[in-house]
Structure 1
């Protein structure tokens, strides 16, 4: 991945963290935000992977739809 593409990806991912409300809900505590992401990654390494992906995909799609309204 080229540097410019990676920079754009990182900015977009940071925007998703903010859009989810994690910045405000944690008081911008980056250790907590990283902990949440590490916990999600750990769940994706279990047998619950597909169920978690389905649940999170639906919630994410709903959040995007609500934002458009």
Structure 2
């Protein structure tokens, strides 16, 4: 009988511990779908930042159809026989632009001091 009572107490403790754990997980947002959604949101924000950084929003006068058409053209180009060459060219050009931006930013920080 004592063993049964001890087992019931242990079961109640485990249930309470599990409920506390579920509450903590709900508060911290560690659910898998939330983490995936946050990662996707971050990726979309970064990609949107690249569109702005490249000056495409201003050049296209915020015309979404034009931007989408340009992206479709890029996708077609990457799928074509010349895709590997285009990809290598764009990667080189992008890296140079990032490097130049980093140098320019570092130089402006020196003058701010």
Pairwise TM-score range, normalised by the shorter structure? over 0.9
Partner residue of 1:60? 94
* Higher share of residues assigned helix: 2
> Is 1:24 matched with 2:55?
no
CA RMSD of the aligned region, Å? 1.1
Q: Per-residue displacement from partner, 1:17-40 (whole Å, max 9, x unpaired)?
A: 111110011111111111110000
Structure 1 residue runs of 5 or longer lacking an equivalent are none
Structure 2 stretches lacking a partner, 5+ long: 1-34, 104-113
Partner of 1:37: 71
1:43, 1:20 → 2: CA distance? 19
Q: Higher relative contact order at CA 8 Å, sep ≥6: structure 1 or structure 2?
A: 1
Runs of 4+ in 1 over 3 A off after TM superposition: none
The equivalent residue for 2:111 is none
TM-score, normalization: structure 1?
0.94
